[in-house]
Amino acid sequence: MPQRQMIEPSRVAPPSPRFVPRPLTDKMIAVGVASKRSPLGAIICATLIVLALADLAMFVAGMGAWSTYRAAFVPAPVAQGHALQITTGTATPLPTQPPQVTLPRPPALEARAAILLNLGTGQILYGKQLFTKLPMASTTKIMTAVVALTHGQLDQRITVGADAVAIQGTGASVAGLRQGDVLTLRDLLYALLLPSGDDAAVVIADGIGGSQAQFVALMNQEAATLGLTETHYANAHGLDAPGHYTTVRDLAILARYAMTLPVFPDVVRTALYQLPATSDHQAYTWTTTDRMLTDLPYAGITGIKTGFTGNAGACLVFSATRAQGQLLGVVLGEPDETARFTEAAKLLDWGFAVEKLTAQPANILW
């Protein structure tokens, strides 16, 4: 069976009404009249009539085919006063360009080094001397608490030894622990982080590590685990010592990790902790050294830790939570103890402004 050949409509030529019947001439009429007079004339007349009828039939058929083609492939004219109707798909809107946003300039800081990051994502918003090794004073106690929470139990009972009491009266910051008192690790964390007790750091080191030296080894081991490659500890309390240093970047990583641990965030946001006397210990009242929680309040502040020594200057690790999110920062080497709080507040204000402006897609301009 022969296969059908498909022809595209656009390539089909329209039929032409070319078969036009010939009109009757005088000669035809004369022949017709003559046909009445002879048989031959009659035959000729009949033949002419048949040919004329055939021409007429072909003309009619041709016009019908032309009409069919016109209806299928030639657009109908638009009526006067009516718009041509064109059916299209749903229009896709062109993408709009995000608005341009000019971010505020970060504040000028007197700190030797500083960092501010988003606590949730870890994205660094501000950095100054991120990798400069500096002494960190009592911000050391953040690692002291991390090692204690990692290797100890919150209800673990630890006795205050003579070496802890010996540090009192040397100019160190202390919690005023009394030799022979027995406290839980939970209570010692408040003594460590609120009044920044160096004596509490020694008690925790002895109770968890077996000795201060062994505990410091655990601190350096934890630093390596957390990837704090520019950090090294020489003691558990943060007093100036050779080989005791960190960077603001490492300290921020450590603090961010510490804020994920149980109890730690609750301790560092506490302004006042009172421990009633029991048969195991005397009564204690500890107030935080973080003035952003007390007389220099900052809205949304959640801690974390102060520090000060002659070599380190004034130091502060801080965090705050607002509608825009959670921020965490570090300042090391501030010129005085008040400056660390005021500059931390400026940095937080700037950071929250940036977080608000960048919450929606935009072309960021500095």
- What string of DSSP letters covers 83-133? PPP----PPPPPPPPPPEEEPPPPPP--SSEEEEEETTT--EEEEESTT--
Q: What is the mean pLDDT of residues 254-268?
A: 97
Residue that wins the pLDDT comparison between 82 and 221: 221
Name the average pLDDT for the chain. Answer: 82
17-26, 282-291, 292-301, 335-344: least confidently modelled range: 17-26
- Report the C-alpha gap between 285 and 294 in whole angstroms: 15
Burial of 295: CB neighbours in 10 Å, binned 0-12, 13-18, 19+: exposed
Q: What is the pLDDT of residues 296-338, one digit of tens each?
A: 999 999 999 999 999 999 999 999 999 989 999 999 999 999 9
Q: What is the C-alpha separation between 180 and 160, in angstroms, rounded?
A: 5
Q: What is the mean pLDDT of residues 183-196?
A: 98
- % residues pLDDT > 90 (the chain): 68
Q: Which residues are catalytic?
A: 138, 141, 196
